[in-house]
Amino acid sequence: MGSPSTATRVSARRHRIAPEPETRYDRRLAEILAHATEVFCKKGYEGASMRDLSRESGMSLAGLYYYFESKERLLYLIQRHTFSTIVERLKARLQGVDDAEDRIRIFILNHLEYFLANQSAMKVLSHEDEVLKNGFGAEVAAIKREYYRICVGLLDDLKRERGLQSSTRIAVLSLFGMMNWIYTWHKPRVDADPESIAGQMADLFLRGVMAGGKIRKER
Amino acid sequence: MGSPSTATRVSARRHRIAPEPETRYDRRLAEILAHATEVFCKKGYEGASMRDLSRESGMSLAGLYYYFESKERLLYLIQRHTFSTIVERLKARLQGVDDAEDRIRIFILNHLEYFLANQSAMKVLSHEDEVLKNGFGAEVAAIKREYYRICVGLLDDLKRERGLQSSTRIAVLSLFGMMNWIYTWHKPRVDADPESIAGQMADLFLRGVMAGGKIRKER
DNA sequence: TACTGATTCTAACGAACGTTCGAATCATTG
DNA sequence: CAATGATTCGAACGTTCGTTAGAATCAGTA
């Protein structure tokens, strides 16, 4: 009968004990999300039609609605999954690392590695930022705020450790700009590997934040 | 009869000698472009309908087509005007300034000042980057490339002067990221004036590029 | 085998889309 | 005033949009 894509979905989860945490439904949904991500990346959220998504994923137009109840919720699912994954990985990587500078380098590396390994998804996340309305938008915005706060915390730690006093807000937002803008220019053929780019951006940012005193050439 | 919006338009330009360089047509077109810019900024190019533009500008749907032949050309007009203005102003400001660092500071200040004074237009320029097709897209892309090359030139001058050797490409693209990302976060109420923000970003960038040697804390 | 619920499909719905046609209005000049 | 071209409009064109109803098919169980 009706589609199960509303809120919680119970019946499709077979009562397995361990070996297969993924149901058929979850796998199929993930496939659709992956294809939809590519289309949204290429044509933009508004520019991509449900018929484009149907063609790309090989499923009929109506068939898609068995997996989600609206185009907007589809975008929400993509954004939430992408964003929570990157936050989750970051937290794991920061475990056990104490040095403030190292932690910022890890932040940058994690962000860029994930960005470049999942360029389409991250472009959809960055570029289709304001399209989700009230409910959906608020939840993604909350994850974004958490991610932002983590970065602010890392930089504040560094500033405390080294006695720096520049504006955290401007510095952090500049860093996000550097990193997120990469989707507009990165070309795998011409640009170096993620580690290298992350290293260069980290150098640029950390020197910029830490280099003290006057910069202007004395005359 | 037909609309004059194709290619060159001659007849509307009255043969004035000096006092009024703007014809009625030009003024009206500029008004429409301004309103359209706001709508594109708020709803995105694909998300904004011609009826939205009609409502916002107070002109009938069909009336708009007297001034441009398609929605795509409208976006093209907005982008070309915005971008060529910023390049033009930059060139004027760089006149007579010799110091390499000063020239980069001027570049950043010019960019951010214009960005914040024309936020909607610049967001439309940054955000609706890939939507223009072949002909229209190529012309805007050419201006963008010129602008990018100017910045590369400025940074190369600085690197030559100071004997630096980091990657120009990564540095310049990082700088563009910092600056362009501002449309996602700037709030006039909470953030400082353009000069101040430009100063802080310039410090961050220039220190990052110029600070030499090792940064890592010695252990 | 027959049954049941999960999954996928064809075919359509009404609304909104970008664009165009031809008539109405306006401003200007003879 | 009449005449002419510039400007604006209402009404519609054909197409595509997101979404849905209801039937067909599939997979698994009894």
B65 contacts B147 by C-beta, under 8 angstroms: no
Strand D bases near protein CB (under 7 Å) are 5-12, 16-22
Residues of B206-216 as b/e, b for ≥16 C-beta within 10 angstroms? bbbbbbeeeee
Collect all residues of chain B within an 8 Å Cβ-Cβ radius of residue A169: 191
- Write down the pLDDT at residue A179: 98
Q: Residue B42 corresponds to which tokens in the numbers above?
A: 């708020």
B63-72 average pLDDT score: 97
Per-residue pLDDT band at A21 (split at 50, 70, 90): low
Using pLDDT thresholds of 50, 70 and 90, give the confidence band for residue A212.
low
**A174 CB neighbours strand C below 7 A:** no
pLDDT in the model for residue B212: 64
* Identity of residue A86: I
Answer yes or no: do A174 and B178 touch at CB < 8 A. yes
- Do A197 and B46 lie within an 8 Å CB cutoff? no
Q: Which chain A residues have a beta carbon less than 8 Å from that of B204?
A: 166, 170-171, 174, 205, 208-209
| A32 vs B20: CA distance, rounded Å | 59
- List C-alpha distances in Å: B85 to A113, B78, B80, B82, B151: 36, 11, 8, 5, 16
Mean pLDDT of chain A: 89
Nearest to A201 among B44, B174, B206 (CB): B174
- As a 3-state breakdown, chain B gives helix, strand, coil percent values, each rounded to 5, of 65, 0, 35
Tell whether the model's pLDDT for residue B124 goes beyond 60: yes
The bases of strand C with some atom under 7 A from any protein CB are 5-12, 16-22
- In chain B, what residues touch A210 (CB-CB under 8 Å)? 211, 215
pLDDT score recorded for residue B22: 77
What are the helix (H) ranges across B44-164? 50-57, 61-64, 71-94, 100-117, 119-127, 134-162
Nearest Cβ partner for A181 among B173, B203, B217: B173
What pLDDT does B15 receive? 34
Higher per-residue pLDDT: A22 or A159: A159
Are A12 and A24 within 8 A, CB to CB? Answer: yes
Q: Which residue from B minimizes the CA distance to A206?
A: B208
Task: Say what the pTM is.
Answer: 0.89
Which residue lies nearest C8, CA-to-C1' measured?
Answer: A63
Interhelix angle A100-117/A119-127, nearest 10 degrees: 100
CA A183 / C1′ C12 distance in Å: 40
Residue B13 pLDDT exceeds 70: no
Chain A positions touching B168 (Cβ under 8 A) are none
| pLDDT over 90 at A134, yes or no | no
- Alpha-carbon distance of A61 to A58, in angstroms, equals 9
Model pLDDT, residue A9: 40
pLDDT band with cut points at 50, 70 and 90 for residue A13: very low
B89: confidence class by pLDDT, cuts 50, 70, 90: very high
Check: CB of residue A155 under 8 Å from CB of residue A171: yes
What tens digit of pLDDT does each residue of A164-175 get? 999 999 999 999
Is the minimum distance from the CB of A59 to strand C below 7 Å?
yes
Does the CB of B50 fall within 7 Å of any strand C atom? yes
Of the pLDDT bands very low, low, confident and very high (cuts 50, 70, 90), residue B21 is low
Reported as a pLDDT band with limits 50, 70 and 90, residue B8 is: very low
Interval A88-106 mean pLDDT: 97
Does A170 sit within 8 Å of B204, measured CB to CB? yes
**DSSP 3-state of B169:** helix
**Chain B positions touching chain A (beta carbons under 8 Å):** 44, 46-47, 99, 101, 127, 129, 131, 166-167, 169-171, 173-174, 176-182, 184-185, 191, 197, 200-201, 203-211, 215-217
Q: Tokens 């501002």 identify what position?
A: B182
Say what the alpha-carbon torsion angle A144, B48, A38, A22 is, to the nearest 10 degrees: 60
Nucleotide lying nearest to A73, CA to C1' measure? D18
How far is it between the farthest Cα atoms of chain A?
Answer: 80
Tell me the average pLDDT of chain B. Answer: 89
Which whole number is the average pLDDT over A174-197? 97
User: Closest chain A residue to B162 measured between Cα atoms?
Assistant: A217
Which residues of chain B neighbour A185 with C-beta distances below 8 Å?
Answer: 173
CA closest to C1' of D8 belongs to B63
A47-CA/C7-C1' distance, Å? 28
Torsion of CA A19, A25, A28, A33, to 10 degrees: -110
- pLDDT exceeds cutoff 60 at B121: yes
Measured CA to CA, the distance from residue A194 to residue A201 in angstroms comes to 10
- Cβ distance B207 to A184 less than 8 Å, yes or no, reads no
pLDDT for B17 beyond 70:
no
Name B residues 42-61 whose Cβ lies under 7 Å from strand D: 58-61
Could you give the CA distance from residue B46 to residue B119 in angstroms, rounded to a whole number?
19
Contact yes or no for A204 and B99 at CB 8 A? no
CA distance A33 to A168: 36
pLDDT digits (tens, 9 = 90+) for B158-206: 999 999 999 999 999 999 999 999 999 999 999 999 999 999 999 999 9
Which amino acid belongs to residue A147? Y
